[in-house]
Structure 1
Amino acid sequence: MQAYLWTIAAALGAAAIALLVVQTVHRIVRALGRRSVLLAELAQHAHRPFQVAATVFAVQAAVRIGTGLYAVGTGWRQALLHGLVLLTIATTAWLVASLLLVCEDIALVRFRTDVPNNRQARRIRTQINILRRLTVVIIVVLALGVMLMTYPAVRGVGASVLASAGVIGALAALAAQSVLANLFAGLQLAFGGAVRLDDVVVVEGEWGRIEELTLSYVVVQIWDDRRLVLPTSYFTTKPFENWTRTQSAVLGTAEFDVDWAVPVQTMREELRRMVEDTELWDGRVCVLQVTDATGGSVRLRALVSAADAGRLWDLRCLVREHLVEWIRDQRPTVMPRVRTEIGDANSDLPWQWVQPRRRPVRRRTEDVPDDARVFGGSDDGDARSSSFVGPDEVVEAPR
């Protein structure tokens, strides 16, 4: 009984000393963390696993020394020490995982996503988040493997397990085909750059942003605050729209069906005045074009640009609202209408024989930009046009 009591007292004393040392180190690291981000992260995230791991290790050492000195029963001693070894492996894995996560958090601090040009930062954060989850999985698997190897029976069947590893691996791969596909798809998304965190995408007819990206699934936050959860393999096997892959600035349209009597240039100038008075427009593109003229009406398309997808949505709605109001109040005669002609060829009603009026020649002033072309008329339009020009063909001179 004296040996058991001594062993318990030694374990409690070792635990108390370990806790005291860990608490002292924690206070020192936290004080130094005021000047170092790394030390501050260590004091915040690695304190608890370090405390538990140090306590378990100290108790194991005390029990091993105490039971060895007093020759405590072999069976009881081996079972206790084996349990402490398992706890030491588990807490050490927890500590290592915490240290790696602290390093990843330090790396994330350097890449901010609350700045306008954050494409590179979002790519790095996506890769780090995927590596974070992969690191935790690897550490847990290795810790479980080491814990199993502490059992002699498991070590004894190692040769037979290795002999049948090929068959088991083939069966496991067949059974977990979808899981492995999502795993490799997650790694491909993280390092391929097809999609990143906070990217604005259109998937399954829904418009939203990438809120979470893991090794197995991707969470898309839809514009109305719903969440669309998709497997990572979806983004490697099916087409989707990524509005912010190269930059956050995007273009958007607003279409109108109006009467043939619409003054296109006047409406174009009104569109220009409207977008110049709103902070939603980024000043790049403002174009009004006639895209169709069939079925008794003319279709106009207003093309505008904004710094991001959210502002573009509001800008498109504002363009529709303003131009509808302008047509209703200033040009009611160009509202869509259905014409019906009653009479015959001998009818001499005045409205049937109106002579076509000569359109006055309007001089374009220098201060009015050319808003009639998407692929030209401005520096941005010329750059967009050059993207669709193929390689120059070499024309051989006739012999």
Structure 2
Amino acid sequence: MYDAIVVGARCAGSPVAMLLARRGHRVLLVDKVTQPSDTVSTHYIQQYGLRKLKEWDLLDTLAGTGVTPMRRMTISYRDSLIEGFADPLDGIDVTYAPRRTVLDPILLEAADAAGAEVRQGHAVRELIVEDGRVAGVQGADGTRDRASVVIGADGSGSLVARQAGAEIYRSLPAESFVYYSYWSGLDIHFHSRIGVDQQVGAWPTGDGGTLIAIMKPLSRWDEFRSDVEGNFLQVVKDVVPDIAEQIAGGGERTEPFHGIRYPDNYYRRSHGPGWALVGDAGYHKDPITGQGISDAFVHAELLADRLHEGLAGERPMAEALADYERERDERTLSAFKFAATIGALKLPPELEAVFNALGREPEYARDFFNLIAGAITGERFFAPENVARMIGAAK
């Protein structure tokens, strides 16, 4: 009998298992794949995500893998451009975008080192439900394991969510699709550049590799797929000609193109009798802001804290898990709405005016970079009085 079974051993599930095991709980961590294994990802980890790795004594391990440090960002919307970087956050003055074949094994090994039992290549077939309560999992191999709580960290298509009946209670439609691949031979810092109905994101990963991604409206999906490489390179040329010149002048694509139609933005009910959800299983927003990994770290720790309270008998488990969901939602709602808005690749007039102000006023640009870093909350940056102040100063 386990205290917790975690289904999914990536950037949400492994930290939950690690943190619970470090507190002395008996934890089983299972995943249908075996690490190292790649997955769809923006790779980017903001300073607030790196702060969690530092607190967990994993940041130096990541930094030692050959991942490229970034200390410069270029962000643009149409003709408005800002450059700079956030202030150090708890001494962290860089960001990283590691390949998931590098990051996920580090997290999994940390869970194992903390004392969690790890089973890789172990697919879950169904939840064990008794008297209306989730009581464990049954593997595809017939193995049955029981626990006080089962945690779904198994992504947007979560089996745990589906079988537990976790409904979506807030949703905003996805507006765009993404194509991306990797190049060698480029010298690029962080870019997030929005042109007319298209976006280019580019940043180094590690060992000389660079991720380049484009976004276009969903209505252009079929047209784009008729010539992926030609259309991809044309978007880069239209939006960031300097990067297109580097590609043409010696960049080498090292992997096939990956195309994704992301699911809608959503909040899914993330707790119930004997179960909880974390990461994309419970909450997903447009990837344009690249916050998925950092949010997964933060929410993994929040869930682990609340689970510990319930498992240790400090408060009723149902109450603790309800607080987890409430706190997660309160901390993320402004970022959720912002990501969905800019994911449409066309800013409403008020936000466009704010972005124009960022390009003209270094003070506001600095606040924006600190927002990205996690040092300033979205509620503070987008407070009506602050937005009015920025727009007024830009006129």
The TM-score normalised by the length of structure 2 is 0.23
Higher share of residues assigned helix: 1
Higher share of residues assigned strand: 2
